């Protein structure tokens, strides 16, 4: 296991200029994230200088089996908090080979709105809250809940402190730091009213970048 840990934390920048780019997109349900990795010859900071890529849309619910190719267009770059070094996360939207946005590509229309001169002139700011619940592994039961039972009434858990009130804080803090490392404009976290329930806030972010940052944070 120590060897595996060493390899996971291996700093590639000591031996090669090549980096790993994890291309990420939204799957067919509109809520699922998909990703695949590729090697690049060096550091890239402009998403529009990254190569387009493709995937089998019939396996993600985004294309029929007889015509399954979908093309990924890189749109935003974030530092990779998992591989670290110069490696990156690449947020993408999806198109047909003919260049038409596929039905689940909601970013296409959003980008047209946010790039309109009247909207750009207003410099719209967004702050987005995302609530979630941590589940116990294998049990699918909220962390901090007795197995098969229910916790005490709400009150002590919201913004609570202590091992008997703030369940899963190690996971939450790890997520918080990973977001900051990636360059996401995450503005805070807090425990919510139910044991195992947490919230993070992204923003204020300008325009469409708020959506990119939220999906990477998820």
Q: What is the DSSP letter of 201?
A: E
Average pLDDT over residues 63-73: 95
Question: In whole angstroms, what is the distance from residue 44 CA to residue 137 CA?
Answer: 37
Band (122; pLDDT cuts 50, 70, 90): very high
What's the predicted TM-score (pTM) here?
0.91
Kindly tell me if the per-residue pLDDT of 155 is higher than 80: yes
Q: What would the two tokens of residue 44 be? A: 């890239």
Choose the CATH number for 124-217 among 3.20.20.140, 3.40.1410.10, 3.40.50.1000, 3.30.590.10. 3.30.590.10
Instruction: Write the CA distances from 71 to 47, 54, 80, integer angstroms.
Output: 15, 4, 22
Q: What percent of the chain has pLDDT over 90?
A: 87
Question: In whole angstroms, what is the distance from residue 28 CA to residue 144 CA?
Answer: 32
| Secondary element (H or E) of residue 53 | strand 53-56
Kindly tell me if the per-residue pLDDT of 9 is higher than 90: no
Low-confidence winner among 11-15, 99-103, 107-111, 204-208 (lowest mean pLDDT): 11-15
Domain locations along the chain: 3-119, 124-217
Of 171, 166, 182, 191, nearest to 217 by C-alpha is 182
Task: Please tell me which residue, 215 or 77, carries the higher pLDDT value.
Answer: 77
Q: At what angle do helices 209-217 and 169-182 cross, to 10 degrees?
A: 140
Residues 6+ apart with CB under 8 A from 105: 93, 94, 95
Mean pLDDT of the chain: 94
Choose the CATH number for 3-119 among 2.120.10.10, 3.30.70.2740, 3.10.20.70, 3.40.50.300. 3.10.20.70
Residues 6+ apart with CB under 8 A from 129: 199, 200, 201
The model's pLDDT over 31-59, given as tens digits with 9 standing for 90+, comes to 899 999 999 999 999 999 999 999 999 99
């Amino acid at each position: 296991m120590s060897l595996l840990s060493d390899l996971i934390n291996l700093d590639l920048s000591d031996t090669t200029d090549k980096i790993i780019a994890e291309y990420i997109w939204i799957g067919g349900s509109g809520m699922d994230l998909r990703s695949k990795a590729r090697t690049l010859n060096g550091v890239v900071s402009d998403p529009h200088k990254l190569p387009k890529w493709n995937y089998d849309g019939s396996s993600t619910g985004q294309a029929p089996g007889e015509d399954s190719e979908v093309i990924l267009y890189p749109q935003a770059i974030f530092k990779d908090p998992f591989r670290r070094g110069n490696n990156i996360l690449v947020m993408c939207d999806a198109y047909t080979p003919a260049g038409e946005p596929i039905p689940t590509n909601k970013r296409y229309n959003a980008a047209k709105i946010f790039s309109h001169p009247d909207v750009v002139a207003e410099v719209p700011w967004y702050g987005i809250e995302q609530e979630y619940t941590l589940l116990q592994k294998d049990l699918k039961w909220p962390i901090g809940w007795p197995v098969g039972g229910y916790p005490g009434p709400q009150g002590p858990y919201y913004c609570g402190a202590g091992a008997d009130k703030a369940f899963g804080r190690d996971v939450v803090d790890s997520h918080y730091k990973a977001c900051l490392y990636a360059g996401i404009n995450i503005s805070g976290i807090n425990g919510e009213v139910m044991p195992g329930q947490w919230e993070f806030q992204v923003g204020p972010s300008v325009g469409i970048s708020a959506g990119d940052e939220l999906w990477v944070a998820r």
